Amino acid sequence: MSDHRDTDGALDAIRSSGGRITETKRSVIEILAAANEHLSAEAVTAVVHQTTPGVAPSTVYRILEELVRLKLVEHSHAGRGPVTYHLGTHDHGHLVCQECGLITEAEPELFETLTSLGLSRHGFVVDAHHFAVLGTCVSCASRLSR
C-alpha cells in the first residue's frame, strides 16, 4: 500500500499515473482525507452533493473504483453493512461490532497468527486490508450483559 496521507499526495499520485484531476475527484479525496471513519459510497456521495448537487452517484462510484485501482483508497467489507472506503494511510485490519456497526482500525500485528496459519496450513495469503473480524464492541457487550 502506498502512503498517501494527505490530499496533495493522492492528487500527485493520480497525476503521476496519467490520471486527470476533476473537481469531483478532488472532492472525494478531500472527503476521505478529512473523515474520522470509514465511509460508504453513499455517505461520500451525500457529502459531495453538499457542494456539487448535480454529481451522479455513478460518478462517485467510478471515482472510488479508480482510487482503489490506483491503491490510493482502500475498501473494506465490514460484515453486514455496505462496503466502506478510506484513504490508504497505513496497514491495518478492522474490528466490526455486529450490534452498532462501529468499525475500529486494528494494527496488523493482531492478525499475524491468522496470517501465518492461513499460509502454513492452507496455502492462503490473508489480505488484512479487506479483512474484518466481526464481534461486539465493549459498549454493546456491556449493554447486552445487563
Q: What are residue 124's phi and psi, to 5 degrees? A: -120, 130
pLDDT of residue 87: 81
Phi first, then psi: what are they for 70, rounded to 5°?
-80, 0
Q: SS3 of 133, please?
A: strand
DSSP type of residue 128? G
CA 40 to chain centre: 8
* CB-based contact 113:106 (threshold 8 Å): no
**Tens-of-pLDDT digits for all 146 residues of the chain?**
333 457 888 899 899 999 899 999 999 999 999 888 889 999 999 999 998 889 999 999 999 999 999 989 888 876 667 888 888 766 777 888 888 888 888 888 888 888 899 999 999 988 766 677 889 999 999 988 87
Which pLDDT does position 79 carry in this prediction? 66
- Model confidence, pTM: 0.73
Please write the tens of the pLDDT for every residue from 60-96.
999 999 999 998 988 887 666 788 888 876 677 788 8
10 Å CB burial of residue 77 (0-12, 13-18, 19+) is middle
Task: Give the span between the Cα atoms of 20 and 129, in whole angstroms.
Answer: 26
CA distance 130 to 138: 23
Q: How far is CA 63 from CA 29, 34, 39, 70, 118, in A?
A: 9, 17, 14, 11, 33
Q: For the chain, give the mean pLDDT.
A: 85
The pLDDT of residue 1 is: 36
**pLDDT attached to residue 83:** 84
pLDDT value of residue 38:
84
The residue type at 85: Y
Q: How much is the pLDDT for 129?
A: 65
Q: What domains are defined for the chain?
A: 7-87 (1.10.10.10), 93-144 (3.30.1490.190)
Element (H, E) at 140: helix 138-144
- pLDDT of the residue at 41: 94
Q: What is the C-alpha to C-alpha distance for residues 5 and 33, in angstroms, rounded to an integer?
A: 8
